[in-house]
Structure 1
Amino acid sequence: MRSTSSELLLDHQEELRKRKIKELALAKKAQSRQQGARSCREQALFYATSLLAVLAMAAGSSLLFLVPLYVDPAISTLASDFVTEPVTCITTRVEQLTGLANCSWSSCREGCTSDAYHCTHIYVSYNATVPGLNNTEEAILLVNIKGCGYPPKIRCANFSGTFGEEGTEFPCFPSKQNGTVVLTNYIKDEQIAIIIHYFAVPFVVTLATSVALCVMHCDCTCTPAQRRTMRSRRPPRIPLRSEYSDGSLSLGLQPAFS
């Protein structure tokens, strides 16, 4: 009888042990699944952060080069308000000069990245029939508003060879703001497109990626209202009674020597 009860007790303990092992195995399996899901989220967050950071740096860095090379000339061109319909220009004289004092400007200078020691001044005359445009005896011809040519699109040697002979007639675009400045080519929509493509798009990309990174990594859950609630939960300070000479707290206790 005693052996039977012992066997039943052992069987019950063995069943409890197996059940406990099974529960531990299930808990461990669930924990491993949770860790796996967490690691996947962490990897996704890491790659998303890396991609956004690269885009933000690339777009922000591109602005440093695109603004002075393309955006600033385009804005200056629009501000000069050139005529949209070409007029006829005639080359009146050409000067080949040398020296920094004589080369404060040039009709076409390749690169414009260093001081010019050799420059070409091309002067033209035109008959203006456009309202708001005043006639001038002589104007300077520029390849663009900055007078800078960037190969292979613009080669100053070809520009000087085409327009640098006296008596050459060609269509040109004088400025309404300054009638002494003339361009050989001007399309207003093209200048607006340059500003949009080379400034607006990189700026929006930089701003959007920066905001996305801030939202992903900045903790904005603790609002001022929550901070006030947390402060209100703090226990109040217990004041001291001034009538007790020994500084006893106001907890209903009497001085020991009363």
Structure 2
Amino acid sequence: MGMCIDITDSFECIYKDTDAPLKCSGRRGKITCIDLNVDPAISSLMADYEPEPVTCIATQHIYAEGMSNCSWASCREGCTREATRCHQIYVNYSKLPFKNYKSSMVMHWDVADTRFLINTEGCGYPPSVNCSEFARQYGYQSAGTPFPCYYSRVYPEVQVVARYSWDDTLRHLVLSITIPNLLFAASIGVLSYWYCPGCGRSCQKYMHHFPAEIV
């Protein structure tokens, strides 16, 4: 025989979240986490963007100042500092390829009022990234005019960018892996040659075969 326990009585409990929220950046307050940044090329590949541009339209453009008002930005000039001035652009997009778009069409938007970024990281460095020019092109008076954009097939609701190229992304990834490894291997080779006693003796022995030039 087994033993039965009556669990039909109900009771009330109260949950209190006593842990402080995570703070990964900023000047005031204690930093409680570390923000890990992934290489932009890897982030782009992981996002799996639609390679063919689709149709976007800007629905809202906000220009804000102050760190508290710039929790995110469509474009930042510099990826290692906090934004104190920012452009925040929201868009609707349709999965209709932009090349097939016609002004006479009645558009059906697949996703509405989502954040729009200049690239995967939402930042870059001049002259390739100019946020004032970016805002003039997609915000301000240009809002309401359809333009090409790229959406993430992994995060279709939250990740839409203005710039994407599979070939450029792959090239940057290969270079970011190859060049540091080649430099590291060359440095190890030079240091090994300088500090290896056997290498030095071999070099001196080799030089003895060539007498000094007589002037």
**Shorter-chain TM-score category?**
0.5 to 0.7
Contact 2:55-2:96 at 8 Å conserved across structures:
no
1:89-104 → structure 2 map (5 Å cutoff) = 89-104=56-71
TM-score, scaled to structure 1: 0.52
Does structure 1 residue 150 correspond to structure 2 residue 125? Answer: yes
User: How much has 1:78 moved relative to structure 2?
Assistant: 1.3
Contact 1:149-1:156 at 8 Å conserved across structures:
no
Contact 1:110-1:148 at 8 Å conserved across structures:
yes
Aligned-pair identity in percent equals: 38
Number of matched residues?
149
1:92-119 CA distance string (max 9 Å, x none): 1111223322212101111234222221
In 1, the alpha carbon distance for the partners of 2:183 and 2:82 equals 35
Give 1:100's aligned amino acid.
M
Paired position in structure 1 for 2:85:
118
In 1, the alpha carbon distance for the partners of 2:60 and 2:145 equals 10
Paired residue for 2:94, among 127, 148, 157? 127
Does structure 1 residue 178 correspond to structure 2 residue 155? Answer: yes
Contact 1:173-1:185 at 8 Å conserved across structures:
yes
1:1-258 → structure 2 map (5 Å cutoff) = 72-129=39-96, 135-164=110-139, 165-179=142-156, 180-214=158-192, 217-218=195-196
In 2, the alpha carbon distance for the partners of 1:184 and 1:146 equals 11
User: How much has 1:183 moved relative to structure 2?
Assistant: 1.1
Mark the structure with the bigger radius of gyration: 1
What secondary structure does 1:138 align onto?
Answer: strand
1:15-74 CA distance string (max 9 Å, x none): xxxxxxxxxxxxxxxxxxxxxxxxxxxxxxxxxxxxxxxxxxxxxxxxxxxxx7xx8112
User: How much has 1:212 moved relative to structure 2?
Assistant: 4.8
Give 2:84's aligned amino acid.
Y
More helix by share: 1
Structure 1: segments with no counterpart, 5+ residues: 1-67, 222-258
Give 1:83's aligned amino acid.
E
TM-score, scaled to structure 2: 0.62
In 2, the alpha carbon distance for the partners of 1:201 and 1:189 equals 18
What secondary structure does 1:89 align onto?
Answer: strand
What secondary structure does 2:182 align onto?
Answer: helix
